[in-house]
Amino acid sequence: MSSEESRYVVEQFWAAMNANDFRAAGDLLHDEFMLEWPQSGERIRGRENFVSINEHYPATGRWQITLMRIVADPGGVATEVMVTDGVRSDRAITFSTVRDSKIVHQTEYWPDRFEASPWRVQWVEHG
Protein backbone atom coordinates (compact mmCIF):
# COMPACT_ATOMS: atom_id res chain seq x y z
CA MET A 1 0.00 0.00 0.00
CA SER A 2 1.08 3.55 -0.58
CA SER A 3 1.81 5.93 2.27
CA GLU A 4 -1.29 7.94 1.38
CA GLU A 5 -3.56 4.89 1.41
CA SER A 6 -2.18 3.79 4.79
CA ARG A 7 -2.58 7.32 6.13
CA TYR A 8 -6.22 7.39 5.01
CA VAL A 9 -7.01 4.09 6.79
CA VAL A 10 -5.48 5.35 10.04
CA GLU A 11 -7.31 8.70 9.75
CA GLN A 12 -10.58 6.78 9.35
CA PHE A 13 -9.69 4.68 12.40
CA TRP A 14 -9.20 7.76 14.61
CA ALA A 15 -12.40 9.34 13.24
CA ALA A 16 -14.35 6.20 14.24
CA MET A 17 -12.68 6.19 17.67
CA ASN A 18 -13.59 9.86 18.14
CA ALA A 19 -17.20 9.02 17.25
CA ASN A 20 -17.07 6.30 19.92
CA ASP A 21 -18.06 3.87 17.18
CA PHE A 22 -15.76 1.07 18.26
CA ARG A 23 -17.38 -1.42 15.87
CA ALA A 24 -16.58 0.88 12.92
CA ALA A 25 -13.00 1.19 14.21
CA GLY A 26 -12.89 -2.60 14.47
CA ASP A 27 -13.99 -2.89 10.83
CA LEU A 28 -10.71 -1.15 9.92
CA LEU A 29 -8.67 -3.84 11.66
CA HIS A 30 -7.14 -6.78 9.80
CA ASP A 31 -8.14 -10.35 10.70
CA GLU A 32 -4.62 -10.80 12.13
CA PHE A 33 -4.73 -7.53 14.13
CA MET A 34 -2.55 -7.19 17.20
CA LEU A 35 -2.16 -4.17 19.48
CA GLU A 36 0.77 -3.91 21.87
CA TRP A 37 0.91 -1.74 25.00
CA PRO A 38 4.62 -1.92 25.96
CA GLN A 39 4.20 -0.06 29.26
CA SER A 40 1.82 -2.64 30.70
CA GLY A 41 3.19 -5.61 28.74
CA GLU A 42 -0.27 -6.40 27.29
CA ARG A 43 -1.17 -7.60 23.79
CA ILE A 44 -4.64 -7.45 22.35
CA ARG A 45 -5.22 -9.96 19.56
CA GLY A 46 -8.16 -9.66 17.21
CA ARG A 47 -10.77 -7.03 16.46
CA GLU A 48 -13.36 -8.43 18.89
CA ASN A 49 -11.00 -8.11 21.84
CA PHE A 50 -10.12 -4.57 20.74
CA VAL A 51 -13.79 -3.59 20.43
CA SER A 52 -14.70 -5.19 23.76
CA ILE A 53 -11.93 -3.40 25.67
CA ASN A 54 -13.05 -0.05 24.28
CA GLU A 55 -16.75 -0.74 24.88
CA HIS A 56 -16.05 -1.71 28.51
CA TYR A 57 -13.42 0.89 29.39
CA PRO A 58 -14.54 2.66 32.59
CA ALA A 59 -14.63 6.18 31.11
CA THR A 60 -16.33 9.03 32.94
CA GLY A 61 -17.86 10.43 29.76
CA ARG A 62 -17.82 10.12 26.02
CA TRP A 63 -14.33 9.83 24.52
CA GLN A 64 -13.09 12.79 22.51
CA ILE A 65 -10.01 12.16 20.42
CA THR A 66 -8.06 14.86 18.64
CA LEU A 67 -5.56 13.82 16.00
CA MET A 68 -2.62 16.13 16.65
CA ARG A 69 -0.10 14.72 14.18
CA ILE A 70 0.11 12.03 11.56
CA VAL A 71 3.17 10.92 9.61
CA ALA A 72 3.06 8.20 6.98
CA ASP A 73 5.81 6.50 5.03
CA PRO A 74 6.01 3.17 3.19
CA GLY A 75 6.75 1.39 6.49
CA GLY A 76 3.73 2.60 8.41
CA VAL A 77 1.87 5.44 10.05
CA ALA A 78 2.70 7.29 13.28
CA THR A 79 0.07 9.33 15.09
CA GLU A 80 -0.12 11.55 18.14
CA VAL A 81 -3.59 11.91 19.64
CA MET A 82 -5.05 13.69 22.64
CA VAL A 83 -7.73 11.65 24.39
CA THR A 84 -10.20 12.87 27.01
CA ASP A 85 -13.37 11.60 28.63
CA GLY A 86 -14.10 15.03 30.10
CA VAL A 87 -12.25 14.31 33.35
CA ARG A 88 -8.89 12.89 32.40
CA SER A 89 -6.77 13.80 29.41
CA ASP A 90 -4.01 11.67 27.97
CA ARG A 91 -1.71 11.65 24.99
CA ALA A 92 -1.06 8.53 22.95
CA ILE A 93 1.62 7.85 20.38
CA THR A 94 0.66 5.03 18.04
CA PHE A 95 2.63 3.27 15.32
CA SER A 96 0.39 1.44 12.84
CA THR A 97 1.14 -1.04 10.08
CA VAL A 98 -1.48 -1.35 7.33
CA ARG A 99 -1.89 -4.40 5.10
CA ASP A 100 -4.69 -5.15 2.65
CA SER A 101 -6.29 -1.76 3.48
CA LYS A 102 -6.63 -2.76 7.17
CA ILE A 103 -4.57 -2.06 10.27
CA VAL A 104 -2.71 -5.27 11.06
CA HIS A 105 -0.48 -4.10 13.89
CA GLN A 106 -0.31 -1.21 16.33
CA THR A 107 2.12 -0.34 19.10
CA GLU A 108 0.66 2.28 21.39
CA TYR A 109 2.41 4.32 24.06
CA TRP A 110 0.42 6.09 26.78
CA PRO A 111 2.98 8.22 28.60
CA ASP A 112 2.12 9.33 32.12
CA ARG A 113 2.56 12.96 33.07
CA PHE A 114 5.31 13.71 35.57
CA GLU A 115 6.57 16.69 37.50
CA ALA A 116 9.43 18.63 35.95
CA SER A 117 12.71 18.31 37.82
CA PRO A 118 13.76 21.58 39.47
CA TRP A 119 17.45 21.13 38.58
CA ARG A 120 16.82 22.04 34.92
CA VAL A 121 14.54 25.05 35.43
CA GLN A 122 17.05 27.51 33.95
CA TRP A 123 17.07 25.71 30.59
CA VAL A 124 13.40 24.91 29.97
CA GLU A 125 10.04 26.50 29.34
CA HIS A 126 6.75 25.18 30.70
CA GLY A 127 3.87 24.74 28.31
Structure confidence by residue, pLDDT tens digits, 2-45: 999 999 999 999 999 999 999 999 999 999 999 999 999 999 99
Q: What is the pLDDT of residue 32?
A: 98
106 and 94 in contact (C-beta within 8 Å)? yes
Quick one: fold of 3-123?
Nuclear Transport Factor 2; Chain: A, (3.10.450)
How is the chain split into domains, by residue range? 3-123
The whole-model pTM stands at 0.92
Please name the amino acid found at residue 33. Answer: F
State the maximum Cα–Cα separation within the chain, in Å, rounded to a whole number. Answer: 51
pLDDT in tens, 44-83: 999 999 999 999 999 999 999 999 999 999 889 999 999 9
pLDDT in tens, 89-114: 999 999 999 999 999 999 999 988 88
